Amino acid sequence: MPSPPAEPRPAALAALRFSVAPMMDWSDRHCRAFHRTLTRHALLYTEMVTANAVIFGDRERLLGFSPVEHPVALQLGGSDPEALAKAAAIGAEWGYDEINLNVGCPSDRVQGGNFGACLMRSPALVADCVAAIKAVVRVPVTVKCRIGVDEQDPEPALDEFADHVLAAGSDALIVHARKAWLQGLSPKENRDIPPLDYDRVYRLKRRLGGVPVAINGGIGSLEAGLAHLDHVDGIMLGRAAYQNPDLLLGVDPSLFGTPAPHADAFAVVEAFEPYVAAHLVAGARLHDITRHMLGLFGGQPGARAWRRHLAVEGVKPGAGLDVLRAAAGHVRDALRQAQERRPLVA
C-alpha cells in the first residue's frame, strides 16, 4: 500500500477548518441557508443521499440548493464505485464544492445496503469508491468515518483504513472519534454511548503529517472545538450547532479572522426574511423552514416563547413572515422586561 501523501492539500485544509455535520432529517436546504446567515465561511454538508437516489430520483428535491449556501458539500452513501462515480459527477455538475463519502452512519438501513459504517471493515472497497469518484470530479473528495466498528481495534483498523483511502486520492478525512457498534446499539445510541477517543484521532493526524484531518463527535461548544485545533486541522459540529445555532455567529471571528455576518440573533432573523419569503411564495410551508430556527436565542429571556410561537403558529395554513416576526417580538419583550427588573447600580 503506497504511503499517504506528505504534502498538505491547501484547498481541502482551508474548507475543513470548521464545518457543520451532515445530519439526517436536519441539514436540509433550509437548514443550510439559515446556518449560512450565521457564518460566511463554515463548510456546510447535505444530508446523506444514496448514490442510486441521485441517479434515479428527483434531483431537484434531493440536490437543489441556494447559491447562498456555498461552500457546501454533498455527502453520498453507497459502496458501488460505478454508481458513486455517476452520482458524484451529477453532484459536481449541480455545483457542489466537495463530494464526501459516508463511512460512518450505523443505521440498519445502511448496513442492509452495505454502506456507511460497515464499510470500515472493507478499506480496499472504500479505496475503489474514492478512486472512482476522483476520476470524474475536480472538486475535493473527502471521507467521513469512525475510528472503528464493533470488535475492531481502532489502532490498526483506522490506520489501515486511512492508508487505503488516502492512497486512492481522498483529499481529507473527517473522523467521528467513536466506534460504531453495528449490533446492539441504535443509531441514536451510537451517537452517545461508545466512548469518545479524541487521542486516537490526534495520533492519526500526527502519523499522517500534512494530510488534512478534521475531528467530529461530542463537541458541545465552539470553545471546546477550538481546543482540538491544537491537534487537528478542522472541527465538525453537529447537534451543538443545530440545537444552539447562536454559536455559529462566533465561527467567522474565532476561526477565519473576519467579523460575524450579523450583530446578533435579531439581525439574523431579519436578514433571513427574504429567503423565507421567497420560499413561501414558491410553495414551502413556514414550519419546514423555521423548525431549524427553534434553538436560536437559546438561554435568553423569551427563548421558550420564541420556540412555542413558531411551533404552534408556524404549522398553521398560510403562516407567513408575521409569525416569524411575532416570535422574535416575544424575545424582545422578555429582554426589555428583564432589563426593567434589573436593579440599578449606584
Active site residues: 105
DSSP code of 221?
A: S
User: For 60, what's the count of Cα atoms within 13 Å in the CB-facing half-sphere?
Assistant: 0
Among all chains, which residue has been given the C-alpha cell 398560510? Answer: 318
3-state secondary structure of 30: helix
Phi then psi dihedrals of residue 108, to 5 deg? -60, -35
36, 202, 220, 161: CA torsion to nearest 10: 70
**DSSP assignment of 160-177:** HHHHHHHHTT--EEEEEE
Which residue in 173, 95, 174, 168 sits closest to 125, CA to CA? 168
**How far is 171 from 98, CA to CA, in rounded Å?**
10
Among all chains, which residue has been given the C-alpha cell 436540509? Answer: 28
**DSSP assignment of 184-216:** T--HHHHTTSSPP-HHHHHHHHHHHTTS-EEEE
Among all chains, which residue has been given the C-alpha cell 468515518? Answer: 145
Phi then psi dihedrals of residue 57, to 5 deg? -95, -170
DSSP code of 284?
A: -
Tell me whether residue 206 is exposed, middle or buried, using C-beta atoms within 10 angstroms of its C-beta: 0 to 12, 13 to 18, 19 or more.
Answer: exposed
Helices (H), 64-122: 81-94, 108-112
